[in-house]
Every structure is written in C-alpha cells, then in structure tokens.
Amino acid sequence: MNDFDEIIHSPDFKQKTKKFGEILSKFNKIHSLTKYENLDFVMQDSLNGLKFITNSPKIAIDVGSGAGFPAIFLALVLKDCKWHLFEPNIKKSSFLTYAKINLGLENVIIHSKKIEDEAKFEADLITSRALMRADLLLEICKGFYNKETLFLLYKGSNAENEIKNLKDYKLNRYQNRVFLTFKGEKNG
C-alpha cells in the first residue's frame, strides 16, 4: 500500500473525495442511492482492496457499480488504469456520469447497462462489491477475462458459502470485510 499512500494523502485526492461526498449527498437526498452516510468508512473500505491487487491493471471493470463503491475511489488512485463501470440502474448510472464529469475522471467510462449486454473485451482486473455470488459473477463476465485477470470481490461474512465452486482462491479478511481474490484462469 506504500505506493498509494502519497496519492491518498495528496490535496488533490482529498479535494476530489470531498467533492464526491458532496455530489453523493446531493443525489442521495433525491434518489436514495445508498444508505451510507459516513463516506470515510466507505472510502476506506474501498481503498482497503488495494492491498490485494497483485497486478498492475491497465483495464478494469467494476460490475454493479451502484453509487461508485469501490470503483470511484480505486479509479482516483489507479489513474493509469481505464475503469469501465457497469450500472444498469439509470438513476445510479446518471449519478456516476455526473460524478465522473465533476471529478474530471478521464480514466472512467460509465456503461448504463448490464455487463452481459456489452461487446466483450478483456480486463486485467474485475471488481464487484456484494453484487452476487462469485460463480454467477464469473458466468456473466465470460469474455471479459482471461487466465491472468484478477478478480477482487468485496464480500461479507458469508464469503465461505461462495467458494465451493472456485479453485485457487484466497479469502483475505481485513477489518469487517472479506476480500475474495482469484484469477480467471482456473475458474472460467
């Protein structure tokens, strides 16, 4: 995580996360995008995933991006990576587009659709936060990963129930989160 400390503690990062919080608060009053009111907790939870990214991704996909957790925070840190955020809910994808523009996130592309409705391209990293079981996520992501693609899934306490069909995975516990990581190679 040391490589990212400088970015996370920079005035630019702090200014952008503050602005993101303001935008989220504004949208949340009207559209009820998320139940989280403490953005610091969600931001730290999102950034904790950096500890488990073992490659240097150039193309990343976040499936079911919702209100932007973890993808927006990861995109602020991994600036050399092109982030594709898939969110079919029009309210949420509109919010993400608004946030992307207002934060100047040129490395982020918003897809207002389900990933399975997109033309296939391969990613180096695929993330998702509590969207669906890992085996179902693998299924809908077919064509978007190869043997080197790293999956980083933000899971809760029931993560053990999702690993029975996976091979060569790691369950990484950090604070109140379970990070499930595996490569596409043995699981696709």
What are the chain's domains?
A: 3-183 (3.40.50.150)
The region that residue 104 occupies, defined by phi over 0 for left and psi between -120 and 50 for alpha, beta otherwise, is left
Q: Which contiguous run of DSSP H or E holds residue 102? A: helix 90-103
Binding-site residues for S-adenosyl-L-methionine: 64, 69, 115-116, 129
> Residue 30: what pLDDT?
87
> Residue 1: what pLDDT?
42
> Residue 172: what pLDDT?
93
Query: What is the per-residue burial (b if ≥16 Cβ within 10 Å, else e) of 119-140?
Result: eeeebbbbbbbebebbeebbeb
**DSSP string across 15-43:** HHHHHHHHHHHHHHHHH---S---HHHHH
Backbone angles phi, psi at 13, to 5 degrees: -65, -45
pLDDT in tens, the chain (188 residues): 457 889 999 999 999 999 999 999 999 888 888 887 788 999 999 999 999 998 899 999 999 999 999 999 999 999 999 999 999 999 999 999 999 999 999 999 999 999 999 999 999 999 999 889 998 999 999 999 999 999 999 998 888 888 887 888 999 999 889 999 999 865 65
Q: Which contiguous run of DSSP H or E holds residue 183? A: strand 177-183
> Residue 165: what pLDDT?
79
User: Rounded CA gap, 131 and 6, in Å?
Assistant: 31
The residues that bridge with 60 in the sheet, in sequence order, are 83, 125
Binding-site residues: 64, 69, 115-116, 129
